Amino acid sequence: MTKSAWQQEKDFRDSAVPVDRRKAAASWEHVADFPHGDGLLRWHWNVRVPGSLAPDIFFMGMVQDWANQGYDVREAEALLPEGIQFEREGRIEELRVLSARIMQILKEAPKIPGHPYHQYEHPASWEEVRAAMPAAADNLPRPAWKDRYNEQIYQGWLGQMAGGSFGTAIEGYTGERIHQVYGEVRGYLIPPETTNDDVVYELLLMDVFERLGRKITSAALADEWVKKLPYGVSAEGTALRNINLGIYPPESGTFLNPYCDWIGAQMRGMICGMLSPADPMEAARLAHVDGVVSHARNGVYGEIYAAVITSLAFGMEDPREIILEGARYVPAGSEYAAQLAFCIETVKTAIDPQTAWKILEKHFERYNWIHAYPNLAADVLALWYGQGDFTESMALLASAGLDVDCNGGLVGNVLGILKPVPSVWADPLGDLLETYIAGKEKLSIRALAEKTVVLAQK
């Protein structure tokens, strides 16, 4: 009997032993010559995550997430072992046909009657999303600018860079496997590497925001993606394909995009919060404008939540209160809201973070390591039990594993806004952000923060 896609992926992930980054180098050289044709096809069947060298199979994740969204994918699941074998043996012609067949199956897959995913409400337009938020009735005016926001934005960027760099070396593995190789991880394992595929989307949003201000549109962001991005992965890669075919937002985030509930929007919501200090509804609106370029439904709500808790950190002090208040900005009838509520109830009632994570890890075992939900759980765990301590919070993220660089970026950004990033984390960054975007290869973190301050006052 064929295992379901989530069981296949879980077995694959559980067996992956981390490559010790203290001994093995990694690079982003693939960006200069990103695979295409048969090379790209094989890449989707057998890839190594650039920063950590963790193994991954995107076709498996694709089928897994379509099942999570309530579609009958049993035919596609049955083909996965054969596809893995074809790639390993270099049987390219057979791999081409099998891959096309999987895409056809997913495109035509019927919805499973009564599946939980279809029982939730998933508003799409900003007006519908806002109306479904418990916070919609607040109608708070835009707050006046405070001088302290300048430094908070800088510290937020430092926290994001530190947390992201910390997580880059260990992303894509389970917490158990990370501990097996490294023990308890409470600091940088290697000199921090700020290059990743998370922050580049924030930089592009800033460029469009600089031109259009708060009249920024999803279509303008889509144009910027096509103009500047050399490649994209999972939801972002699918969105780029769609946009290049003339399928613009919001359809770019939904059309044949099984990854639309993954973390790719949640990982980049922080800039929307920093452009809207202590103005969570505006942060949520900007996150929606950005999120629908590549995601839909719960994937977009993930970016909204990330943006909101970042914004709230400018005017609140307790990470736990930020978590709770942020939940009021998630559409109440959505699956994301239900999963967030489960996370909050778990950390409220568990006797310690280890017990809480065992419960959360089991609850989210059906989801890919790049999905928004299990990583949301890790974020809540770290912010709840870390109690504002940067090192303790990062250690909790490492103990959870999964998409640690995305989670470190979000948690680090929130914590940096709350209080200055400790020098042991900030100093090794050397005021340097490196990216693969032409014209932005080496950036000053201080200058980036100063630009953010200017834009946030528009």
Tell me the per-residue pLDDT of 17-35, one tens digit each, with 9 for 90 and over. 999 999 998 776 666 677 7
Confidence band (pLDDT; 50, 70, 90) for 452? very high
Q: State the average pLDDT over residues 315-323.
A: 98
What does the H/E/C string look like for the chain?
A: CCCCHHHHHHHHHHHCCCCCCCCCCCCCHHHHHCCCHHHHHHHCCCEECCCCCCEECHHHHHHHHHHHCCECCHHHHHHHHHHHHHHHHCCHHHHHHHHHHHHHHHHHCCECCCCHHHHCCCCCCHHHHHHCCHHHHCCCCCCCCCCHHHHHHHHHHHHHHHHHHHHHCCCCEEHHHHHHHHCCCCCCCCCCCCCCCCHHHHHHHHHHHHHHHHHCCHHHHHHHHHHHCCCCCHHHHHHHHHHHCCCCCCHHHCCCCCCCCECCCHHHCHHHHHCCCCCHHHHHHHHHHHHCCCCCCHHHHHHHHHHHHHHHCCCCCCHHHHHHHHHHHCCCCCHHHHHHHHHHHHHHHCCCHHHHHHHHHHHCCCCCCCEHHHHHHHHHHHHHHHCCCHHHHHHHHHHHEECHHHHHHHHHHHHHHHCCCCHHHHHHHCCEEECCCCCCCEEEHHHHHHHHHHHHCC
Question: What percent of the chain stands above pLDDT 70?
Answer: 99
Task: Please state, rounded to an integer, the average pLDDT across all residues of the chain.
Answer: 96
Check residue 31 and give its pLDDT. 64
What is the tens place of the pLDDT at every residue in 177-218?
999 999 999 999 999 988 888 899 999 999 999 999 999 999
Check residue 35 and give its pLDDT. 76
What is the tens place of the pLDDT at every residue in 375-422?
999 999 999 999 999 999 999 999 999 999 999 999 999 999 999 999
Q: State the average pLDDT over residues 137-164.
A: 95
Check residue 141 and give its pLDDT. 87
Check residue 85 and give its pLDDT. 98
What is the tens place of the pLDDT at every residue in 222-255?
999 999 998 899 999 999 999 999 999 999 999 9
**d(C-alpha 259, C-alpha 201), whole Å:** 17
What is the tens place of the pLDDT at every residue in 92-135?
999 999 999 999 999 999 999 999 999 999 999 999 999 999 99
Check residue 440 and give its pLDDT. 94
Check residue 399 and give its pLDDT. 98
Check residue 25 and give its pLDDT. 87
Contacts of 87 (CB under 8 A, 6+ apart): 42, 45, 46, 95
Q: State the average pLDDT over residues 261-274.
A: 98
**d(C-alpha 141, C-alpha 266), whole Å:** 25
Check residue 29 and give its pLDDT. 66
Check residue 384 and give its pLDDT. 98
